[in-house]
């Protein structure tokens, strides 16, 4: 099979399009022919490397994907050859106490496709049966691949951890990335009033089309001050900050007394400056999470399958052009998901 692999960390030049042996499914596992995969910033971080990361080379990148079941292992009972499937990229053991309690995202041996095991930037992948969800005929492979990681992440953060309720105000800091566009849609669908902060008018216009109620251009105004004024000097119930270092201070200021700040990432850098007086003085709660449970995956993908949530697709590249696709993501000049078609 063809795959995008790396033999060492580095820039886009370390990505190689090569032939690899097609893996074979063991007991409880399924061989899937990938039809569409989607990029995440995570792939670039894995490619670049970080202190302590240990990859088994050659490493195949990619967390998101959808495809067709080609072969089933012994003991697989819920899937058949030919089934069209979406992939949950979170791999859990199914046996530890967290898994037994349905909190498989906290599994003692949790792993993620493309990060701590071979990923979806390949023509084939072997996965546990429980990580696959059969796609309705009306849902394309592209839609399923574009949805998986970002909708799971956004749903778990906003709904499961954040406890978002109808009528609440939500500020989404940043608009271009996949998780933030999913957060805008989920918050809108939940009946919240959605404020979106960006420094690009073009991205704000797209955010409005996804359900944003109030658009704030942070290149023209102090957005935390604007939120304060727009909420009758109260602040927002929930602030979604996946930008990190560049914005977290203002996110803390924009939250109301008793408000929640949700974070699943830090595209501008991981070290945050926090003025603790705001934390205790305003009774703030900072809620961190990453990915989500399989229950979250089924819940949010059901809404995608029903057309209640529609992934935004920016562009498509052939698998062989993964370098160009990653360069586009690194440039920041995109809105929604960048796909690789195999």
Binding footprint of Zn ion, residue count (CB under 5 A): 5
Which residue, 99 or 146, has its beta carbon nearer to Zn ion?
99
**For residues 290 and 164, what is the distance between their CA atoms, to the nearest angstrom?**
17
Which residue, 8 or 95, has its beta carbon nearer to Zn ion?
95
Which residue, 92 or 242, has its beta carbon nearer to Zn ion?
92
Q: Residue 66 CB, nearest distance to Zn ion (Å)?
A: 24
In the region spanning residues 102 to 121, those forming contacts with Zn ion, defined by CB under 5 A, are 107
Piece of the chain touching Zn ion by CB under 5 A; list 1-9, 99-107, 228-236, 301-309: 99-107
Binding of residue 291 to Zn ion (CB under 5 A) = no
Binding of residue 37 to Zn ion (CB under 5 A) = no
Which residue, 110 or 223, has its beta carbon nearer to Zn ion?
110
Which residue, 70 or 96, has its beta carbon nearer to Zn ion?
96
Six token digits for residue 159: 């709904």
HSE at residue 24, side-chain half, CA atoms within 13 A, is 1
3-state secondary structure of 215: strand
Binding of residue 215 to Zn ion (CB under 5 A) = no
Q: Residue 99 CB, nearest distance to Zn ion (Å)?
A: 3
* Ramachandran sector of residue 258 (left: φ over 0; alpha: ψ -120 to 50; beta: rest): left
Binding of residue 91 to Zn ion (CB under 5 A) = no
**For residues 158 and 125, what is the distance between their CA atoms, to the nearest angstrom?**
30
HSE at residue 243, side-chain half, CA atoms within 13 A, is 22
Q: Residue 128 CB, nearest distance to Zn ion (Å)?
A: 12
Q: Residue 94 CB, nearest distance to Zn ion (Å)?
A: 6
String of b and e for 180-193 (b: at least 16 CB within 10 Å)?
A: bbbbbbbbbebebb
What lies within 8 Å, CB to CB, of 309 at 6+ separation is 147, 151, 182, 185, 186, 189, 300, 303
Q: Residue 90, exposed/middle/buried by CB under 10 A (0-12, 13-18, 19+)?
A: buried
Piece of the chain touching Zn ion by CB under 5 A; list 37-45, 92-100, 147-155, 319-327: 92-100
**Which of 92, 131, 224, 231 is in the footprint of Zn ion by CB under 5 A?**
92
**For residues 277 and 294, what is the distance between their CA atoms, to the nearest angstrom?**
37
CB 204 within 8 A of CB 218: no
Which residue, 130 or 188, has its beta carbon nearer to Zn ion?
130
**Which of 68, 70, 79, 96 is in the footprint of Zn ion by CB under 5 A?**
96
Binding of residue 93 to Zn ion (CB under 5 A) = yes
Rg (CA), the chain: 20
Q: What Cα–Cα distance (Å) separates residue 182 from each residue in 104, 172, 229, 327? A: 22, 10, 26, 22
**Which of 61, 85, 87, 99 is in the footprint of Zn ion by CB under 5 A?**
99
Piece of the chain touching Zn ion by CB under 5 A; list 13-21, 45-53, 98-106, 165-173: 98-106
Which residue, 99 or 154, has its beta carbon nearer to Zn ion?
99
Give the interface with Zn ion as residue ranges (CB under 5 A): 92-93, 96, 99, 107
């Amino acid at each position: 099979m063809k795959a995008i692999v790396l033999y060492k960390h580095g820039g886009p030049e370390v990505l190689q399009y090569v032939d690899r042996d097609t893996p074979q499914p063991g007991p409880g596992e399924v061989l899937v022919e990938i039809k569409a995969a989607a990029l995440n910033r995570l792939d670039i971080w894995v490619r670049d490397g970080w202190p302590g990361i240990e990859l088994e080379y050659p490493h195949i990148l990619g967390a998101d994907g959808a495809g067709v079941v080609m072969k089933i292992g012994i003991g697989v009972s819920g899937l058949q050859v030919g089934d069209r499937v979406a992939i949950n990229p979170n791999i859990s053991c199914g046996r530890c106490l967290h898994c037994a309690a349905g909190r498989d995202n906290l599994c003692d041996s949790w792993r993620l496709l493309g990060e701590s095991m071979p990923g979806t930037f390949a023509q084939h992948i072997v996965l546990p049966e429980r990580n696959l969800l059969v796609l309705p005929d009306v849902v394309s492979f592209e839609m399923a691949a574009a949805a998986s990681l970002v909708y799971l992440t956004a749903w778990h953060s906003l709904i499961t951890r954040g406890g978002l309720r109808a009528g609440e105000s939500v500020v989404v800091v940043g608009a271009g990335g996949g998780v933030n566009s999913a957060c805008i849609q989920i918050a809108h669908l939940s009946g919240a009033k959605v404020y979106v902060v960006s420094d690009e008018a073009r991205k704000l216009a797209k955010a409005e089309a996804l359900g944003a109620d109030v658009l704030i251009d942070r290149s023209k105004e102090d957005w935390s001050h604007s939120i304060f004024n727009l909420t009758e000097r109260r602040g927002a119930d929930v602030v979604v900050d996946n930008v990190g270092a560049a914005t977290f201070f203002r996110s803390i200021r924009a939250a109301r007394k008793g408000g929640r700040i949700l974070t699943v990432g830090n595209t501008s850098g991981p070290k945050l400056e926090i003025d603790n007086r705001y934390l205790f003085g305003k009774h703030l709660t900072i809620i961190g999470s990453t990915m989500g449970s399989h229950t979250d995956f089924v819940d949010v993908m059901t809404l995608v399958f029903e057309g209640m949530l529609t992934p935004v697709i920016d562009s498509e590249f052939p698998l062989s052009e993964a370098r160009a696709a990653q360069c586009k993501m690194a440039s920041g000049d995109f809105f929604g998901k960048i796909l690789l078609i195999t």
